[in-house]
Amino acid sequence: MHVDLYERIWLWGAGAIIVLFLGAIAFATVSQGRLPPSHVETIDPRNTFGDERFATRGVTVNPDGSVAVTMIAMMFAFQPNEIRVPVNAPVTFRITSADVVHGFQIVGTNGNTMVVPGYVSQFTTTFDTPGEYLITCNEYCGLGHHNMFATLIVEEGA
Ligand code: CUA
């Protein structure tokens, strides 16, 4: 089959871009621990605060040293607004939204998820550097979007 020279160049160019993008995904997955959210758990978005899974919000330390963080995102705040977790311990975040789609990004770490009403977003990560981290909403959620943030403090084990 005859393929025109320019068409061949474009075909190979488009193919190379696809390989490059797939390579970027593989690189981010392997070297930076970035994974797609796979936790599918539903919740009634009209009763977020009344749901027993979110009745107690904040930080819980399990007997094995792992940590659970439960938060609710809403226009235009996270509840609770400040959380403290120990360094070098696996921290599982569980977040849901009380109204619209929000983002949950712990700046400078691989902690980043969408927060969708009706679903519980969950991911586990470990912080190896003590300090104060900004948690920001990275999905436009309304007029106060730019004011929607919280603070994560990673501290040396007590
Ligand atoms: Cu919440 Cu933007």
pLDDT per position as a tens digit, 52-96: 999 989 999 888 888 999 999 999 999 999 999 999 999 999 999
Number of neighbours of residue 111 by Cβ within 10 angstroms: 20
Distance from residue 97's CA to the centre of ligand 1 (Å): 10
> CATH top-level class for 45-155?
mainly beta
> Ligand 1 atom closest to Cα of 140?
2
Distance from residue 138's CA to the centre of ligand 1 (Å): 6
> Ligand 1 atom closest to Cα of 101?
1
> Ligand 1 atom closest to Cα of 145?
2
Closest residue (by CA) to atom 1 of ligand 1? Answer: 102
DSSP for 10-61 reads HHHHHHHHHHHHHHHHHHHHHHH---------B--GGGTTTSGGGTS-EEEE
Where do the structural domains in the chain lie, given as residue ranges? 1-35, 45-155
What does the pLDDT read at residue 32?
Answer: 75
pLDDT in tens, 15-54: 999 999 999 989 988 887 776 666 778 999 899 999 999 9
pTM: 0.78
Residues 6 or more apart from 154 whose CB is under 8 A from it? 84, 85, 86, 87, 127, 129, 130, 131, 132, 133
Read off the DSSP letter of residue 64. T
- Identify whether 76 is a catalytic site residue: yes
pLDDT in tens, 94-150: 999 999 999 999 999 989 999 999 999 999 999 999 999 999 999 999 999 999 999
Name all residues whose Cβ lies below 6 A of ligand 1.
Answer: 76, 102, 137, 139-141, 145, 148
Q: Is the peptide bond before 76 cis (omega within 30 degrees of 0)?
A: yes
